[in-house]
Amino acid sequence: MPGLFRIGYKLLVNDKGKFAALIVGITFAVFLMIMMTSMFSGILRRSAATVTNVGATIWVMDPAVNNVLSTIPLPDYVLDAVRSIEGVKYAVPLYSGAALVKLRNGSYQAVSVLGLDDSSLFGRPELEQGRIEDIYAENGFIVVHDAEFRKFGSPTLGTEFELNDHRGVVVGIAKVANSGLFGIPTLYTTYNRAIQYIPNARFTTSYVLVEPKDPAIVPHIQDQVKRLGYDALTRDQFIQRISRFYMYQTGLGTNVLLMAVISFIVGLSISGQTFYTFILENLERFGALKAIGARGSQLVFMILFQATFSALLGYGLGIGLSTLLIHVAQLRLPSYAAMTTYGNLGLAFAMVLIIAAVSSYIGVRKVLRIEPFDIFRG
């Protein structure tokens, strides 16, 4: 069998043009699938950036909330009711809203504003510059240093701006785990300052952030909040809800799925046609191997080896090319949202195995029908 594999390998790479076309087809298909699915994964990660960056264990919200931006204000009594639940270590309000800021150069910029609990500052970001205590200073705001930082004019400590005719001062520059999805800078301030500076409805609490005394008590807290008529989701559950929203209730999931299917069809058609041509051009050689005693099963294994070798080589090249391009794009374009995950790699690998199986089936059918008599008679 190893000898037949060596023969199969030499037959495969003998025609460098056909072999290159076969590898390029699979590589291109894997490249497109990885790029599309990685972009989708990156968008989903950024869509839940606020949840990841704040880091609360439990998020209490209105049941109609399906993503972190579509906040529905909670009545004031919800905070007190949650605090009274047995097993709650502490619960604090969080304000989340949008505003229009006038920068020092006279231009206007939309921003996302997060108001942290005044007493605890729970969910505060890690600072690169400044002191967290300065957020209590008059008009104090902290700017997140992420991909959208330049849109805020690349501020420094002491930079002033206007928010709804209120003076704002940058007292800190922070870093966070994930950048936001919608291309707008993020500001942190205190809860009371946020509701004072930004017009709001009667209720102002966007979420109630809860820290349980024990992880085992989380289901009990969720059940008690459910009786109040609200949802209490863990960090992972909230991220899953946001992902489902963007996947099924927007056109994002459908578009990415269509691109992945198109990439698969392109790779399958190119590799299948090229491999079939390769089999046709080498029918005489397969017939000769059959004449000198090679069994049909051995020829089948040879063709499987050729198809699998081509598929795995194309898979590796496609992964390498897409990973390199994503890395370069992120260096040049900080706002580029793409993330390669094990799920993306697994999906592309499964698609490549299907391509190899279909290509092998096409070749096996043709080779098994050949008779040595027909070859030597020609």
pLDDT one-digit tens code per residue, 323-338: 999 888 888 877 777 7
Same domain, 82 and 41: no
What's the confidence (pLDDT) of residue 65?
A: 92
Same domain, 321 and 352: yes
Query: Phi, psi (5° rounding) for residue 26?
Result: -70, -40
- Specify the amino acid at residue 300: V
With respect to residue 236, please indicate whether it lies within any of the assigned structural domains: no
With respect to residue 242, please indicate whether it lies within any of the assigned structural domains: no
Tokens of 304: 């499987």
What's the confidence (pLDDT) of residue 321?
A: 92
Same domain, 273 and 333: yes
Which of these three, 229, 260, 283, is where a domain ends? 229
Q: What total of structural domains would you count in the chain?
A: 2
- Name, in order, each residue with C-beta under 8 angstroms of 254's C-beta and a sequence gap of 6 or more: none
Beta-ladder partners of 162: 102, 167
> What is the Cα–Cα distance from 91 to 60, expressed in whole angstroms?
10
Give the pLDDT band (50/70/90) at residue 377: low
Same domain, 23 and 101: no
Most confident of 4-8, 222-226, 305-309: 222-226
Can you give the chain as a three-state secondary structure string?
CHHHHHHHHHHHHHCHHHHHHHHHHHHHHHHHHHHHHHHHHHHHHHHCHHHHHHCCCEEEECCCCCCCCCCCCECHHHHHHHHCCCCEEEEEEEEEEEEEEECCCCCEEEEEEEEECCCCCCCCCEEEEECHHHHHCCCEEEEECCCCHHHHCCCCCCCEEEECCEEEEEEEEEECCCCCCCCCCEEEEEHHHHHHHCCCCCCCECEEEEEECCHHHHHHHHHHHHHHCCEEEEHHHHHHHHHHHHHHCCCHHHHHHHHHHHHHHHHHHHHHHHHHHHHHHCHHHHHHHHHCCCCHHHHHHHHHHHHHHHHHHHHHHHHHHHHHHHHHHHHHCCCCCCCCCHHHHHHHHHHHHHHHHHHHHHHHHHHHHCCHHHHHHC
Same domain, 221 and 93: yes
Crossing angle (nearest 10°) for helices 252-281 and 296-332: 140
Tokens of 110: 């939309």
With respect to residue 55, please indicate whether it lies within any of the assigned structural domains: no
With respect to residue 99, please indicate whether it lies within any of the assigned structural domains: yes
Which of these three, 229, 260, 278, is where a domain ends? 229
With respect to residue 261, please indicate whether it lies within any of the assigned structural domains: yes
Give the pLDDT band (50/70/90) at residue 13: confident
Between residues 177 and 378, the one the model is more confident about: 177
| pLDDT of 103 above 80 | yes
Instruction: Please state, as a whole number, how many other Cβ atoms lie within 10 Å of the Cβ of residue 305.
Output: 18
With respect to residue 166, please indicate whether it lies within any of the assigned structural domains: yes
What's the confidence (pLDDT) of residue 277?
A: 75
Cβ–Cβ under 8 Å, residues 183 and 177: no
Tokens of 370: 């050949």
Q: Which residues span the domain enclosing 200?
A: 75-229
Same domain, 122 and 186: yes
Same domain, 211 and 85: yes
Which of these three, 229, 262, 284, is where a domain ends? 229
Instruction: Please state, as a whole number, how many other Cβ atoms lie within 10 Å of the Cβ of residue 148.
Output: 21
Crossing angle (nearest 10°) for helices 252-281 and 235-248: 70
Crossing angle (nearest 10°) for helices 342-369 and 283-291: 70
> Model confidence over 73-92: pLDDT tens digits?
999 899 999 999 999 999 99
What's the confidence (pLDDT) of residue 61?
A: 95
Same domain, 86 and 185: yes
| pLDDT of 378 above 60 | no
Same domain, 322 and 206: no
Cα 37 from chain centroid?
7
pTM over 0.95? The answer is no
Same domain, 150 and 41: no
Query: Phi, psi (5° rounding) for residue 183?
Result: 75, 30
Provide, rounded to the nearest whole percent, the portion of the chain with pLDDT above 70: 94
| pLDDT of 375 above 60 | no
Same domain, 263 and 305: yes
Same domain, 288 and 193: no
With respect to residue 124, please indicate whether it lies within any of the assigned structural domains: yes
With respect to residue 244, please indicate whether it lies within any of the assigned structural domains: no
- Name, in order, each residue with C-beta under 8 angstroms of 332's C-beta and a sequence gap of 6 or more: none
